[in-house]
Structure 1
Amino acid sequence: MSTVQPGNGMDGAGGSSGSMVRRILLGSQLRRLREARGVTREAAGYSIRASESKISRMELGRVSFKARDVEDLLTLYGVTDEAERDALLSLVREANVAGWWHSYGDVLPGWFQTYVGLEGAASLIRSYEVQFVHGLLQTEDYVHAVVVRGQPDASPSEVERRVALRLERQKLLVAERAPDFHVVLDEAALHRPYGDGTVMRGQLRHLIEISERPNVTLQIMPFRFGGHAGESGAFTLLRFPESDLPDVVYLEQLSSALYLDKREDVSQYEQAMHRLHEDSLSPKESRGLLAKILQRA
């Protein structure tokens, strides 16, 4: 299983630093150059006074890059053309730009910083959720209820910071270059209460409204369908505008996450997502179900 674990990204509030993407691209290009030259990771690490594992982390985009290290690696890999070297070294500068979410480092675990960066850099986000409404579609009151439920020992100030972070992420959907967002919600997420009835009614109304946005497609997997392709749990597929960057599958765990980019892994999740799209209610039918649930709430 191949994993991608980079560390920066495009500004989720509408900026375009793209540092997450640059870091992954630079790492993958360095890996291709090394393999083409027949250089081992151990030898590459030795050339920059580092370990084999450091080279592995660089090639996966998991660490920041030093211009001197990249220069030495390019020399080792036989890259002498100045234009090619300059292009790759310019990626070093762009890859090390901090994203907006770094100011929330006190409430944002490192493994989720990776996701926020990838989410902000994606051109297409496809997601299946079963436990609760997707974070990009949550109202402020619903977010607050989710945070309090999930972090019962958090101070009021920490709760507010976590709420503010999620609301900042949501600006992505109304940005000038907003991604296409296709989400399938299990019907269970619409009946599981977070907060009181007022909170849930507000959340349902918000889902109806935001599902009308041209870049948002919302479908519901109804109870009546029975077993379905999302049986393994929630997951997200991310696609990027850069052709050199593979699709990534995001799988969240209790205290960490997996980022899969190996073609055969991604393909299985794409097939599952396709079946979810086929078997779920259409967007229009989904709005109708939301309206019915709202009437009963």
Structure 2
Amino acid sequence: MRGRRLGAELRRLREAVGMTAEEAGQAIQASEAKISRIENGRVAVRQVDVSGLLDLYEVQDADLRDAVLALAKESRRQGWWRGFSDIVPRWLEVYIGLEADASSINTYQCALVEGLLQTPDYAAAVIRSILPETPDEVVARRVALRMSRQERLRSDRPPRLWVVLDEAVVRRPIGGKEILGAQLRHLLDSMARPNITIQVLPFAVGGHAALGTSFTHLGFPDANDPEVVYVEALTGSLYLEKADEIRQYREKLDHLRALALDPAASAEMIAILLRE
């Protein structure tokens, strides 16, 4: 997020002096593509390069310069998840960083319980199902990472988490009935938290706007931080940031929430499945 904020500010300053990305790149001996990546928050940038860009953009305001340089320093600070860099692919590391700064997390899951709500045993069973040859020690590390991500839900200022689960999710006995039962109990316990809303989308609704596609919408506390939609695949992910794309996915979420059982009815369904 800090990299995205820095990039947005540098883009604003460049455009204010009517300079192209190519011209800016030439001034710091970088390509136009690198300037684009910096402005999109895709790569870290050295303070000396930021200082050079501020000179190029004729930024004289000392407070503004200090603020931008401080943001550049912060953007290079490693997040807690870098301790798991041996098991986290770069495409997932980006998501964890965005998730850590999000003020709202809204997701539809068609196959699995949302990772932020998984129990350790369920998470391990998921990992072993998807990656059956993974050594036990790596599975344990991946589970530890998932549990670390969940700690923010219990923090003093937790994000607002709203989850829509397809009925298949709460019926599929991943890891066996006992592990699923413990997972369902955890979902019921999670529903009691004021910052968490869980709805179940029943089979009875038939077709809907997100058939077969899980996705997550992230919102951020700073109005200058654009929303992001995250779509994950087996070997990579897609990050959507264009306003029209965000609008379409928000409409899908609204559609799914309207079709799904309300939280009370969802809890009742989960409780019935648990008894069964």
Cα distance between partner residues in 1 of 2:125 and 2:2: 36
1:36, distance to aligned residue in structure 2 (A)? 2.3
1:237 matched residue in structure 2:
217
1:202 matched residue in structure 2:
182
- Give the unaligned 5+ runs of structure 2: none
* Letter in structure 2 aligned against 1:129: Q
TM-score normalised per structure 2: 0.98
1:68 matched residue in structure 2:
48
1:232, distance to aligned residue in structure 2 (A)? 5.3
1:231, distance to aligned residue in structure 2 (A)? 2.0
1:37, distance to aligned residue in structure 2 (A)? 1.7
2:105 matched residue in structure 1:
125
**Are 1:152 and 2:132 matched, yes or no?**
yes
CA 1:242 to 1:255, structure 2 compared with 1: closer, same or farther past 3 Å?
same
2:158 matched residue in structure 1:
178
**Are 1:217 and 2:217 matched, yes or no?**
no
* Letter in structure 2 aligned against 1:292: I
Other structure's SS at 2:261 match: coil
**Are 1:29 and 2:9 matched, yes or no?**
yes
1:137 matched residue in structure 2:
117
Q: Residue 110 of structure 2 contacts residue 212 of structure 2 at CA under 8 Å; is this kept in 1?
A: no
* Letter in structure 2 aligned against 1:46: Q
Q: Which has the higher contact order (CA 8 A, sep 6+)?
A: 1
Cα distance between partner residues in 1 of 2:143 and 2:10: 38
Other structure's SS at 2:229 match: strand
CA-to-aligned-CA distance 1:37-73 (integer Å, 9 cap, x gap): 2211111111111111111110111111211101111
Other structure's SS at 2:164 match: strand
2:251 matched residue in structure 1:
271
Q: Residue 228 of structure 2 contacts residue 240 of structure 2 at CA under 8 Å; is this kept in 1?
A: yes
TM-score normalised per structure 1: 0.91
Q: Residue 166 of structure 2 contacts residue 202 of structure 2 at CA under 8 Å; is this kept in 1?
A: yes
Cα distance between partner residues in 1 of 2:69 and 2:242: 27
Other structure's SS at 1:206 match: helix
- Cα RMSD over matched residues? 1.0
Choose 74-83 or 234-243, whichever is displaced more. 74-83
Cα distance between partner residues in 2 of 1:34 and 1:143: 45
Which residue among 130, 138, 142 is the counterpart of 1:162? 142
Give runs of ≥4 in structure 1 deviating > 2 Å.
none
Cα distance between partner residues in 1 of 2:125 and 2:64: 51
2:36 matched residue in structure 1:
56
Aligned residue pairs total 276
Among the aligned pairs, what percent are the same residue? 46
Other structure's SS at 2:74 match: helix
1:290 matched residue in structure 2:
270
Other structure's SS at 1:241 match: coil
Cα distance between partner residues in 2 of 1:219 and 1:242: 27
